[in-house]
Structure 1
C-alpha cells in the first residue's frame, strides 16, 4: 500500500522518458462532450472482457477519469486502471490483452512502470499499474470526490472546456490540453486530500 506521502505527491510522467510504439501523443482536435450514460455500460463490458482474458492476473479493474463521473463532460474515451502484479512483465498480460483488441501504445518505465493500451471501439485508454502504485489510489480519490462535489465537478468541466478551446485553436495535442487544466486538477486534489486527512499536499 502506498504511503500518504506517495499519494499526495504529484509525480507526473516525463514525456521525454516515454517509449511510444505507435507514433506519439494523440493529435487534436480535443472534443469535450456531455456525459453519456453508455460510458458506464461500455466500462462494464470491457472490464468483463479484461477479467476473462487475464483471470487472476487482473488484480483490479477500475473505471476512472471523467467518463466515470456521472454528469461530467468528457472526452469520449473510457479510462480504465488495470492493476497487475508487475507491469514491467509484459509477457504476463500483453498477449492476452492484444488478443482481446487492446494495443500497447506507450511505456513509461520511469512513472511507476506504467503501460497504456488503446482500444479503437469503444475508444478506450487502458492504464496498467502495479499493486502498490499511488496513481491508482489518486485516480479513485479524484473520481469519487468529483462524484460527490458538484461545485468542483462544474469547476473541472469549465477548465476542461477552456483547455480544449485553446488547444484546438493552437493545434496542440492531448498532452497540451492536459497541461492546461493541471492547476485546477491540483486544487481539486488538495481539497480531496485534506478531506481524507492527508496533510502536506502541494
Structure 2
C-alpha cells in the first residue's frame, strides 16, 4: 500500500520545535501500572480525535511486560496525512499534550514528559518496525534480557540528548528485529 500524496510539504524536515534535551532518567523495574497509563492516554487520544481514522498502539519498553524501562509511556498514533496537522494537532494540544517537532514525525507529550505520543502517517514503515520489536520482545525472554542489559549499560553513561541514547541502541535493536523477522511463521 502506498501513502496518499501529502497535501503540503513536510515541514518537519526544516523546523524543529524544542532542542536537544539531556537524558537524566534511569531504568525502573517493570511496573504493571504502565499498561493502565497507556489505556488512559489511548482513551484521551481517541476522545480528542473522534472524527479521525487513527490507529493507537502502545510501543517502547513500557509496552513489554517484564522489561525494565525508562518510565515514559510511548504511544504511536497513525494518521492518514501527517502534513495535515489541522486534523489532529490542535485537539491533541487541547487534550493536554505539548508540542515537540522532530524530523520525519510529530511528537506531543505530557508536560511531565512521562508520555510521548509519536504521530506517524499510515503506511510509514516505522510503525511496523515499532510493533515488530514490541511483539518479539513480549515473546522472547533472551532478546528481552539482551535489550534490557544493553539499556542498563548505556544509561550508565551521560548523554547530551535522548536521541543520542536512542541511536546508541540501534545495533542491538537491528539484530533483535532481524531475529524477529526470521522467527515469523511464513
Normalising by the smaller structure, the TM-score range is 0.7 to 0.9
Mapped contact 1:42–1:122 kept (Cα < 8 A) = no
How many residues are paired up?
177
TM-score scaled by length of structure 2: 0.88
Equivalent of 2:142, from 128, 134, 151? Answer: 151
Change (3 A) 1:153 1:98: same
Report the equivalent of 1:160.
151
* Cα shift at 1:30: 3.4
> Does residue 172 of the first structure (1) align with residue 160 of the second (2)?
yes
Q: C-alpha offsets along residues 151-181 of structure 1, whole Å, 9 cap, x if unaligned?
A: 0000000000111112x2xx43212211222
Instruction: State how 1:2-151 maps to structure 2 within 5 Å.
Output: 17=13, 19-22=15-18, 24-108=19-103, 111=104, 114-121=105-112, 123-151=114-142
- In structure 2, relative to structure 1, the CA distance for the partners of 1:44 and 1:185 (3 Å cut) is same
Q: CA RMSD in A?
A: 1.9
Report the Cα offset of residue 56 of structure 1: 3.5
TM-score (norm. length: structure 1): 0.81
Contact 1:32 1:76 in 2 (8 A): yes
- Quick one: distance in 2 between partners of 1:197 and 1:88? 36
Unpaired segments ≥5 residues, structure 2: 3-11
- Give 3-state SS (helix, strand or coil) of 2:156's partner: helix
Q: Encode CA deviations 1:71-119: one digit per residue, 9 max, x unaligned.
A: 10111100000011111111111110000011111142xx3xx111111
Distance 1:30 1:121 in 2: 13
